[in-house]
Structure 1
């Protein structure tokens, strides 16, 4: 079901929020999801009834808003709550403030409060995309805005123009050829790896470096040089490859930089709030600032599925606070991580000497899930009762979400080929691959890859891998045949539309494999719960 089918939408144009909501409602209705939903319901705990590794049922304690707690059970548990759903607020006492004060998460529900006549001045704290959206909204409504971005830290986010000439930059980024310009964990053989990333042909590494210097200059040219305000929101590392800030597109209709450069409604300051008063704030630089509203666009806390007990999180290899790891577990992963770092540096010399950037030391160990989904301890015990989805940050969220979900269901229901299935019984092999994946993300994406799993332009290779392990064709455009299809395979952007029909293809592959063994596809799907 593709949004392309909506006649009111044009490719690469802005998609209004109400259209996204309408699409999700239609999707839910078409696939009968809504009849299984329980909204406003929080999972308080999730416990394996007979202990992990036994393939037993899960018992979940849940509570719907305004109702009593209850317990429900399931045969299969899919955790898709993501790594970051808890808004982060700075450690400030805002109880005395008399105006609107909230996290940018609630902008959609509360934006009318900021554009009301009684609001003359808004203070926005934060440096990334959500902060820019709040600033632009308020300035467009004629409000005075003070935009506060603290010194140090990760610095401001990176804004780039949505189009290069007549081509949308997302169309370039989502093309298969774009993946050749970056090191890729899943591409360590072949001509392009040897030429550009192996270090065996030294001009290749030089060419990659120069390419990204040129792209960065072209994308960012003159954007941050027009005013003092613009210079204050410039990313500390103005390099698209090495920047630890995810880029955000500026649509053609955006007037944000026009307002920034004018300096009439927007004032940017690189400082932070030290104290909040009834109708003002005191800044770290000593300034006393009167304000009518206070908005924190300060990101998210990583939540790590906290409805599991600390012991269960250890057994599942989920993130846990540093210092709480059992000694044996700590030594095990230290050895694997050290070997993985050596492998990454040898395989991708370009990553071995990155420029110095701000590194936010993590408080927790990383995820140690195979393919960012499977707890290896359960897999090797043939316990197919639990997977995690939505952990990986990706520019191709819809496509990756569909493929990883299908791959995960195949794992839960033992529908993979024997060749793929064999890996699930080998914990060391899976853990070595996981350590290499985490190491690659650490050296490729620096702070972003350390804090949470991350993938960028090489996402198409990951989609290809999932398709291969499902037994379906990954090069979707080439399937049509002919020279034009081959051209499109490399130079047209990949979209969710290209994977239409993939569920049926996978079921047909499975049917042929199982033909003669069982008449049906799956005898008993059991009870699934998705949280």
Structure 2
């Protein structure tokens, strides 16, 4: 991908239109067995059911069914909009627009929408707030008091040779300062996470980033800020990532938001015509409600309940038998003790509002493969900081999994690894880790784990660049050819 023009970049970040242009070109230029990738795509197809019938997976739509011996599900975790469910929504005299539809909506350009309310505490809500203020709208921002609170919004500015804070955070050396089940257990990580001095160093590093981020915003002392601006101060320390967040892509974000946006830390109680009633009794008149409320937990409703249980996909707790639940509970208790021995700092999280899940976590090996079923794989369901690189590595691992090229550990060892992953995720990321698929600080060592199991090495640099250079998609450019050479004698299979 060619670098975008300088005027369209911000600390090495660029507008999404350049990624779209690259992908549009990619699907037309990549031809396999005489067909482009675009020609292999079927659009406007709604999957009704997915079911294993004999040796084949059957994917049924409203009128057509497709059959295949192997299946990859890559719908990801941002396919089903999570909208609030409050009294009066069905009769609201205002459009209610989810973040996924905001870019297609006329909110920014139409004079009809003068008073805009945004709900949600994460990056998507923040982006919509900023855009609406820039369009001259009167903006109110409501963040649920009963949730995990406002998310951290960090500066994108880099330090030293690193063009952005994302580049700095994309170095393996920096990643070692976060406890991770995927990182190699070396003398260095042992020192950082299992000695008093090491833990003091780790805590000091994270506290410095936390304090610097709060100082940039200056929630309590910013000049000309409206009274509600202080409500954007995150509940818990940055280290724990209990709420959603992200990097700021606008240099003047706080200067724009502080004096122009009324922020409420309150729950939406009900809607009456064009008025939002908050739990505290406050009323907010609005022409449109924008929902930066994220995405639903994927229950894979196109699969039967027993299939979801069998494959290790999230399912309602009541769908699981006491026997299966007991097996996983025992495994998790055992792995929990190991996690706390390895990372004792995770035993004492800060006081926080914890939201337990009503569903089981993901129980896929490496977040991709079902245990004891190598005919189906799931890509994009384990969240990392860099999806470009993460999904590339997942795709390679899934290919090897379906090709039966992996030397997988025993079923018992796979189950233990899944239990370890889920326990660690809950310990490390609190409410955010309940689903067992949230690993924002584990990207690089997780990717290393996948590629090591496949037996690939073209991405490995020398010691110094390996640990101190940012991991990027360019590092992974040789993986496909290396895989084909290693497992298919250099010949692409059709």
Do they fold alike, i.e. is TM over 0.5? yes
State the Cα deviation string for residues 377-422 of structure 1 (Å, max 9, x = none). Answer: 32xxxxx321111111001211110111011111111233xxx24x
Aligned: 1:172 with 2:171: no
Superposition CA RMSD, Å: 2.2
In structure 2, the partner of 1:152 is 146
Q: Secondary structure at the match of 1:221?
A: helix
Q: Is the 8 A contact 1:122 1:145 kept in 2?
A: yes
Q: Aligned runs of 1:29-428 on 2, under 5 Å?
A: 29-31=28-30, 32-50=36-54, 56-63=55-62, 69-92=63-86, 93-110=88-105, 112-164=106-158, 167-187=163-183, 189-197=185-193, 199=194, 201-223=195-217, 224-225=219-220, 226=222, 227=225, 228-237=227-236, 239-251=237-249, 253-262=250-259, 265-378=260-373, 384-416=374-406, 420-421=407-408, 423=409, 426-428=410-412
Q: Aligned runs of 1:494-509 on 2, under 5 Å?
A: 494-509=471-486
Q: Secondary structure at the match of 1:269?
A: strand
Q: Is the 8 A contact 1:244 1:448 kept in 2?
A: yes
Q: CA deviation at 1:172?
A: 0.7
In structure 1, the partner of 2:26 is 27
Max radius of gyration: which structure?
1
Q: Is the 8 A contact 1:393 1:452 kept in 2?
A: no
State the Cα deviation string for residues 67-108 of structure 1 (Å, max 9, x = none). Answer: xx2222111110111234211111232333333322122101
Q: Is the 8 A contact 2:109 2:135 kept in 1?
A: yes
Name the CA distance, whole Å, in 2 between partners of 1:399 and 1:279: 44
Name the CA distance, whole Å, in 1 between partners of 2:457 and 2:192: 26
- Judging changes above 3 Å, is the alpha-carbon distance between structure 1 residues 9 and 464 closer, same or farther for their aligned structure 2 residues? farther
Q: Which runs of 5+ in 1 are unaligned?
A: 51-55, 64-68, 379-383, 479-485, 513-518, 526-531
* TM-score in terms of structure 1 length: 0.85
Name the CA distance, whole Å, in 2 between partners of 1:474 and 1:445: 32
Number of matched residues?
Answer: 481
Q: CA deviation at 1:308?
A: 0.8
Name the CA distance, whole Å, in 1 between partners of 2:192 and 2:22: 41
Q: Is the 8 A contact 1:229 1:260 kept in 2?
A: no
Q: CA deviation at 1:44?
A: 0.7
Q: Secondary structure at the match of 2:46?
A: strand
Bigger CA drift: 281-290 or 440-449?
281-290
Q: CA deviation at 1:165?
A: 5.2
- Judging changes above 3 Å, is the alpha-carbon distance between structure 1 residues 87 and 311 closer, same or farther for their aligned structure 2 residues? same
* TM-score in terms of structure 2 length: 0.92
Q: Is the 8 A contact 1:115 1:138 kept in 2?
A: no
In structure 1, the partner of 2:33 is none
Aligned: 1:435 with 2:419: yes
- Judging changes above 3 Å, is the alpha-carbon distance between structure 1 residues 177 and 240 closer, same or farther for their aligned structure 2 residues? same
Q: Is the 8 A contact 2:117 2:139 kept in 1?
A: yes
